[in-house]
Homo-oligomer: A and B are copies of this chain.
Amino acid sequence: MTGRFRLFCAGVLLLLATASMEGTLRAMPPVERMTLSNQMVLLASGEPSLPFVTLQLLIDAGSRRDAAGEEGAAYLTAKALLLGTARRGEKAINEELDFLGASLHSSPGRDYATFTLRVLKKDLERGLDLFLEVLTQPAFPQEEVKREVQKTLAALQAAEDRPDDVAEKAFQENLFLRGPYRHPVEGTRKTISSLTRETVERFYRKHYHPNRSILAVAGDITAGEVKTLLASRFEKWPRGAVAEAPGENVFARGPKTVKIDRKLSQATILLGHEGISRDNPDFYALTVMNYILGGGGFSSRLMEEIRNKKGLAYSVYSFFDPGKLPGSFQVALQTKNVSAREAVVIAREQMKRIQQEPVSEKEIEGARKYLIGSFPM
């Protein structure tokens, strides 16, 4: 879920830039792009009608960078940055945030670790100081890191009780034979238990560099402030050596069915195969195709055939999950146990149909209208 949402946000950022160039969607504030002297990329978009400023920093330090046997290190590192700095403990960091009414989150993902700060305009300088302190002077205190490992294990345990999480994990493990996307971002029970503050510090030193980072700023901020407050501060963060690129994913070929038996009243079904990477030139064509097939619109073919006509599914949709490397394509549905087989047959029929027959003009037009119209929302 989080992964999909992040993907959506990244897509919005890209589109924002495009839209402002075309000038058709007047409400999109222009996005300025600059590269700092330490090679950090800075995207800024001022919108003075907002009372706050949001900073989002993406660092190329996602779980695809995890070393073998240390799966979960990227996740733990991103979380551990918020646990203490050279100058402040975790409690002092949280009290400062509460005092500012600010929020600071870290979202470790597959490709990027993301850090998001939201702060009122009037507290921007104090917020920035904390943001940079956390980012460039983390202390990784032993006890707090240990507790974070325990929390991650607990989260992993809780996920075992959620059917969709269980299904998604099994799907990924079986689709990716090996490669950087195969393991869960959080790692596995076995690897997490072996992570220490030393693993975290090593991962941090290797991957947290401004020249591997993109900073996006939006909200009540002027071009002058971007320069004096932001660029000047972030430019002090020294460059580092670029780690070698992670390997490729190897996908399973041929059909395979994995059944997980649990005493549940509904079946959760994931059906899919190898997908694409985000820079695939067919990305937008596939977005339109997937919209027609099952991409969330009320009137998608999967919705119509499985949910509306037959009333088989409680929910059904399809999506591509593209990353820096190719991810998966999935059809997800929940249905009564007895309807599982019928729902799968229809889903496969619809997948085949959209491969073999051209879609209608009306469907293309509907998809186009929807995707353009709903974009600014």
User: How many chain copies does the complex carry?
Assistant: 2
| In the complex, residue of chain B having the shortest beta-carbon distance to the beta carbon of A220 | B27
Known contacts A90-B308, A266-B161, A308-B90; is-contact A370 B298 (Cβ 8 Å): no
A100 CB to nearest B CB, Å: 6
Q: Which of A90, A100, A373 has the most CB of B within 10 A?
A: A373
Interface residue A334 (Cβ < 8 Å from any Cβ of B): yes
Within the complex, which residue of B51, B157, B369, B371 is in contact with A376, where a contact is CB–CB below 8 Å?
Answer: B51
| Tally of contact residues, A, Cβ under 8 A | 61
Q: Is A360 an interface residue (CB 8 A)?
A: no
Question: Which residues of chain B are near A158, meaning CB under 8 Å?
Answer: 265-266, 314, 334
When each residue 18-39 of chain A gets 1 if its CB lies under 8 Å from chain B and 0 otherwise, what string results? 0000000111100000000000
- In the complex, what residue of chain B is closest to A119 when comparing beta carbons? B373
Q: Which residue on B lies nearest to A161, using beta carbons?
A: B264
Asked whether A265 lies within 8 Å of B161 as measured between CB atoms, the reply is yes
Report the minimal beta-carbon distance from A263 to chain B, rounded to whole angstroms.
Answer: 8
The answer to whether A311 and B147 have CB atoms under 8 Å apart is: yes
Residue-wise interface mask of A (137-157) relative to B, using a CB-CB cutoff of 8 A (1 in contact, 0 not): 000000000010011001101
Known A25-B51, A265-B161: A374·B314 in contact at CB below 8 Å:
no
Q: B299, A94: Cβ atoms under 8 Å?
A: yes
A26 to B47, Cβ gap below 8 A?
A: no
Is A372 an interface position by the 8 A CB rule? yes
Q: Which residue of B lies closest to A300 (CB)?
A: B98
User: When the two chains form the complex, which single residue of B50, B154, B163, B377 contacts A266, counting CB atoms closer than 8 Å?
Assistant: B154
In the assembled complex, the CB of A56 is this many whole angstroms from the nearest CB of chain B, namely: 14
Q: Decide: A157 near B266, CB < 8 A? Known: A299-B95, A308-B90, A314-B151.
A: yes
A-B contact pairs, 5 of them (CB 8 A): A90-B308, A151-B307, A151-B311, A161-B163, A162-B162
Chain A residues within 8 Å of B, Cβ to Cβ = 25-28, 47, 49-52, 90-91, 94-95, 97-103, 118, 120, 123, 147, 150-151, 154-155, 157-158, 160-163, 220, 264-266, 297-299, 304, 307-308, 311, 314, 334-336, 365-367, 369-377
For the complex of A and B, the 8 pairs showing the least CB-CB separation, nearest first, are: A101-B373, A94-B298, A27-B51, A154-B314, A101-B374, A157-B265, A51-B376, A98-B370
